[in-house]
Structures are given as C-alpha cells and as structure tokens.
Chain A
Amino acid sequence: MDIGQLINSILNDPDQVFVLTKAFVVGKFPEGAQPLVSILLSILPILSVFPGLFALTTILERKGLGRIQNRMGPNRVGPFGILQPVADGIKALIKEDVVPRAADKVVHFLAPVVIVIPVIMSYAVLPVGRNMVAIDLDAGLLFFFAVGASTELAVFMAGWSSRNKYSLLGAMRAIGQMISYEIPLILSAITVVMAVGSLSTTSMVDAQAGYYGWLPNWYVFTPWGFAGFLLFLTAATAESNRSPFDIPEGESEIIAGYFVEYSGFKFALFFLGEYLGLFAVSGLAITLFLGGWHAPLPFLEWIPSWCWFFVKLMCFIVLFIWLRGTLPRLRQDQLMNFAWKFMLPLTLINIVVAGIWRFLEPGMLRWAVCAAILAAAYVLLARGLTAARGVAPREYRYAEN
C-alpha cells in the first residue's frame, strides 16, 4: 500500500482516518517489529490527547467557575487567557520540590507516579471511535474497575508518607469515600452488563447501535438505564473526588488533604491523575449508557465517530464544572449515609428492574412498570430516610430568604 492508496481510502471513509494511518505506518516496519509498533502507536495518542484535554479543562474550569461567580476568570496569558495552562505548567516545573524531612522519601516520591499510571491504563479499554480501542479485552469493564480501584493505593501512599496529620486525614477520608462509592459505581454498571451479556466495552457500544424511530438505541433512554446513568454519574463524581464530594481535599478544613505536602510538578501530577480519572470514568459512562461513539441522530451519522465521543466527553466536562460551581461540599456523615443508605439500595433495586425489563414483553407496559418501580423506590427511600433522621426543613431565624 502506498501513500496514494492510503489517501484514497481515507477519503472514502474519513471516519477511519486514524485506524488506516496506523495500519499504514505499521505495515512499513519489518514483520517482527510490527506488534511492538502497533502497541506504541496505540499508546501515543492516549498519552498526548488526554493530557492535552486536561490542560484545556483547567482553563475551561477556571473560566467557567469565574463566570458562575460573576468574575472574568484568567484572561492575561495569551488571547482570552488560553495560554494559562502553559504558564501553569512552566510554573509547576520551575517550582522548588519540597519533601518534608520526616516523610517516607521513597513512598512520597512514588505516590504521584502510582496515581497517574493506572488511570492512563484504564484508557486502554475505552472505545474512542469505530475500531478505535487500544486493546479489546473480553473483560474490559472488569479491567477498567480493577485498575481504577488501584488509585486508592496511591492516595493512601501520599497521605501516609507525608507524615502530616492533614495528609493522613485527607487520605483516610478519600479511602472511605472511594471504597463506599466503588460499590454503587460497579453495581450501576452491572445493569448494562446484564443487558449486553458481555463485559467487553466494544460489544456494549455495538449493542447500542441503531435507532428506535428518531430516538437512538441508547440505554439512557430506558428506565433502568436512566436511573443507572444518574447513579453512575453520582458515584463517578465521588470516585474522582469532584465537588460536591471533594471532602478528601477540603481546602477550607484540611488544606488540600492528601497532597498538602506536595509541591511543583508532583502536585501537578496529582492534578493530572485526578482529571484523567474524571475523563476516564466519563468515557466509561458514555460507553455504558450514552451509546459510546454513536451519533445521537440518524442524519448526523456522517460526522466521524471519534468526534462524537469527544463531543460527549466535553458535555460531561461542562456538567462537572457546572456542578462544582453550584453545589457546596458534603459532610463526612452525609457522604457515608448517602452512599450506603440511599445509593446502594437504589442500585440493587435497579438491578432487579433491569431483570424485569429483560423478561417482560417490549411495549408500553414494560416501560410503565419499570419506571413506576424506580420512581416509587426513589421517593420512598428518600422520604423514609429524611423522616427517620427527623429532619425538618431548616428554619432561618435571622436571614429570611
């Protein structure tokens, strides 16, 4: 295959531009080196695109939060401040790297590395576009959760090795929160596994292909899928330590929690790990409930599949920034109550509902029954919990409205 043929085939199918280019480049190497080159060419885009997206997100977040608080946000570096991430990066690189004297030096050094690596590994199973997945594992979802859960280790390494009470408090909060929310996260994803009958992420995307009239065949448009999506989203917010579940950081109480003793580029690595984790779990939500790289409407199918994945990912990022600008931080006991008393029962009920959906005849009845069960569970559970705690609407003695 020469360049002309490559250009020809890309013009025939612009959707496959990256897949064809990769195959072309790999073909130029001797046969023995081809597997290695293929792996490297799969890793390279992941290592460049998503950290780039992280840089973009930091400036978007600062701008967005500023506007939400009626401020301008950063606007000094470059036009409209878009070069701010570059300035931040340079600042992080030239800052002094302070290691506390009492710290466990090796673990303290390893923690920021250990937090980034598993997060990047989890991108291996995310289908970014048609035929665009680094490795199509049969147990892709399992791999994703297994690797994602190991970031907890890094968080505790950071908190423990710093020999700082705030670090340790933050790490303990983070461990408690991550383990608690891991369960609803996985249980809400299990519904999709039940519907698809496979743990492979590509087969999940394939199962959501096609349209039901105008409506895309996504799981978010089924009762159990909608409930599962919201539960997954909430648990994902907590998993990635985003506001309103950012008590492990808690700037106002424990001054940044487990990375209080990190400065310079190590701090930037923690930030990178946190945001990459957010993107990864958003990408998984897209894969599970929002049809992966499929277009939302039939007449938009001509737009390349990878564009759709990133458009959906940007929507998630905007949503997370919006939530962060809106909601105050939860208290530790509220957080735990919410996970174990509200989200866990709801995800279990959702699994039952997904089973009912599977065995009922397709039609309006199935829709009505499933939606009614979930709505009743939601209302009764929330009302019951509020009543059990004896919580009445708060009365303000001094500030009225």
Chain B
Amino acid sequence: MLGEGILKGMVETARNFAGSYVSKDRLTTVEYPEERIAPKENARQFPFLVFDGNDPMAGLRCVACQICEKECPPKCIYIEKSKDKKPDFVGKMQFYPATFDIDVSVCMSCQICVEVCPFDAIKMDQEYELSNDDRFGGLLLNKTRLAKSNEYYGKMHPQEAGAIDESRLKTKEAAEAKVKADAEAKVKAAAEAKAKEAQPPTAPPNKGA
C-alpha cells in the first residue's frame, strides 16, 4: 500500500525509542567521562618511545639514527644526537637521543616513523586524552613524556610485542654466545701460543745440508 514505508519506518523508530529505555544493550554510546570503551587493538593516535627495564632514560631503544625524523611527512619529529655513546642491549656502543621531541599538533598519525624504525624503538600509542590548556608547550612532547615501557606496549599489542621480544632475545643470545666463543677462542689461542713458547723445537734446524 502507498505510504506503507513511512508507517513501517515510524514503527521501527518507535521500537528504538521505547527499547532504549528498556534494554541497556541497545545503547551504542557510553557516558564518556565515567565510562570508557577500551580502544581496539589497531587504534592509533600518536607515536611514543619504547624503553626496556626500569629506567626510562637508560632503557630507551632509540639510537638517534634519525631515520624517522627524515621520513616524517609533516616533519613533526626533532632529534639531537648525543655526543657520547652508551652500550645497547647487546653491549654494543651506540649513540642515544639527547633531545627527542614530537609536536603532536603537527603529527598526522601516519605511522611511517614506526614502519621505518630498524630498532623497534618507536611505536603508536592509543592514548587519546591529550587536551591541554597550553596549545604550544602542552602539545610538544619531549622524550620524558614520550618514553613508555615495553610492558605498556605489550599490553596494547601482545602478539607483536612478543615477536619483537623473542627476536631481540635471540639477537642478544647470539651476541653473548659470540662473545663467549670469542673469549674461548682467545683463551685457546693464548694457551696454544704459550705452549708453543714453552716447548723447545723438537728438531733442530738443519744447518747446511
């Protein structure tokens, strides 16, 4: 019948209207400041720096290679390389960032910095409550504010973090094994050298012949 569609639609909206008072499950929104919906795993806001261990500044994975700074399309990352070096997780001497700033008012959340980082040092955060009454300083995050623990990252992305941890552990073990093997080889070589020195030549050099 003509006009039936309008009536059908009105019945549907009336059902929604009444239903929203009866069942809480129908409500698609939550009362925000009191309740929050947990972010989906793939949700991303702005980057943060991953650190291992307990000391955020000592444990930063970043080696100030500045690839992310160069790749960043809106140029919101600013890095200053350190003058000295300190050992990284395998014991190799590396630079570290003396300054690492991200201006989140410029950042476009493209995740390119994360994709290019060879050290798994920068990852995307899910923190979204960043409103601030200082629109310049409050939105320029320095490395103290950017540093977040590996456990925090593991909570957001358990699988990815697990895979990264595993590969890092393997690298570390390999490095340690190599150090050990090197040390052993050194000891062996030294012992051999010593033995050679101590023993007199078994056959005297053939003079004249």
Q: How far is the CA of A71 from the CA of B29 in the complex (A)?
A: 6
Q: How far is the CA of A152 from the CA of B189 in the complex (A)?
A: 102
Residue of A nearest to B28 (CB): A70
Q: How far is the CA of A382 from the CA of B4 in the complex (A)?
A: 13
* Minimum Cβ distance to chain A for residue B101 (Å): 35
User: Is there contact, CB below 8 Å, between B10 and A322?
Assistant: yes
User: Is there contact, CB below 8 Å, between B17 and A71?
Assistant: no
Q: How far is the CA of A73 from the CA of B109 in the complex (A)?
A: 31
Chain B neighbourhood of A131, CB < 8 A: none
Given contacts A327-B9, A379-B2, whether A70 and B14 have CB atoms under 8 Å apart is: no
User: Is there contact, CB below 8 Å, between B16 and A68?
Assistant: yes
User: Is there contact, CB below 8 Å, between B6 and A67?
Assistant: no
Interface size of A as a range = 10 to 19
Chain A neighbourhood of B26, CB < 8 A: 70
Contact string against B for A residues 368-401, beta-carbon threshold 8 Å, 1 for contact and 0 otherwise: 0000000000110011000000000000000000
Q: How far is the CA of A71 from the CA of B21 in the complex (A)?
A: 10
Interface residues of A in 344-388 (CB under 8 A from B): 378-379, 382-383
User: Is there contact, CB below 8 Å, between A382 and B2?
Assistant: yes
B27: Cβ under 8 A from any A Cβ? yes
Residue of A nearest to B33 (CB): A76
Chain A neighbourhood of B13, CB < 8 A: 68, 322, 325-326
B31: Cβ under 8 A from any A Cβ? yes
* Minimum Cβ distance to chain B for residue A81 (Å): 12
Residue of A nearest to B12 (CB): A326
Given contacts A64-B17, A69-B16, A378-B2, whether A323 and B10 have CB atoms under 8 Å apart is: yes
* Minimum Cβ distance to chain B for residue A20 (Å): 41
Residue of A nearest to B14 (CB): A322
Chain A neighbourhood of B12, CB < 8 A: 326
A72: Cβ under 8 A from any B Cβ? yes
* Minimum Cβ distance to chain A for residue B34 (Å): 11
Chain B neighbourhood of A379, CB < 8 A: 2
* Minimum Cβ distance to chain A for residue B14 (Å): 7
User: Is there contact, CB below 8 Å, between B6 and A70?
Assistant: no
User: Is there contact, CB below 8 Å, between A67 and B21?
Assistant: yes
Given contacts A67-B21, A382-B2, whether A72 and B29 have CB atoms under 8 Å apart is: yes
Please tell me which one of the listed residues B10, B20, B31 contacts residue A67 in the complex, with CB atoms under 8 A apart: B20
Chain A neighbourhood of B14, CB < 8 A: 322
* Minimum Cβ distance to chain A for residue B1 (Å): 9
User: Is there contact, CB below 8 Å, between B27 and A326?
Assistant: no
Contact string against A for B residues 23-60, beta-carbon threshold 8 Å, 1 for contact and 0 otherwise: 00011110100000000000000000000000000000
User: Is there contact, CB below 8 Å, between A70 and B2?
Assistant: no
Q: How far is the CA of A64 from the CA of B6 in the complex (A)?
A: 18
Chain B neighbourhood of A69, CB < 8 A: 16
* Minimum Cβ distance to chain A for residue B76 (Å): 31
Residue of A nearest to B27 (CB): A70
Given contacts A64-B17, A322-B14, whether A71 and B31 have CB atoms under 8 Å apart is: no
Q: How far is the CA of A323 from the CA of B9 in the complex (A)?
A: 9
User: Is there contact, CB below 8 Å, between B9 and A70?
Assistant: no
Q: How far is the CA of A64 from the CA of B13 in the complex (A)?
A: 10
CB<8 Å pairs between A and B, sample of 13? A67-B20, A68-B13, A68-B16, A68-B17, A70-B27, A70-B28, A71-B20, A72-B27, A72-B29, A322-B14, A326-B10, A327-B9, A379-B2
Chain A interface residues (CB < 8 Å from chain B) = 64, 67-72, 322-323, 325-327, 378-379, 382-383
- Knowing that A67-B20, A70-B28, A327-B9 touch, tell me 12 more A-B residue pairs with CB under 8 angstroms: A67-B21, A68-B17, A70-B16, A70-B26, A70-B27, A70-B29, A322-B10, A322-B14, A322-B17, A323-B10, A325-B17, A326-B9
Chain B interface residues (CB < 8 Å from chain A) = 2, 6, 9-10, 12-14, 16-17, 19-21, 26-29, 31
Closest 6 CB pairs of A and B: A326-B13, A382-B2, A326-B9, A67-B17, A68-B13, A67-B20
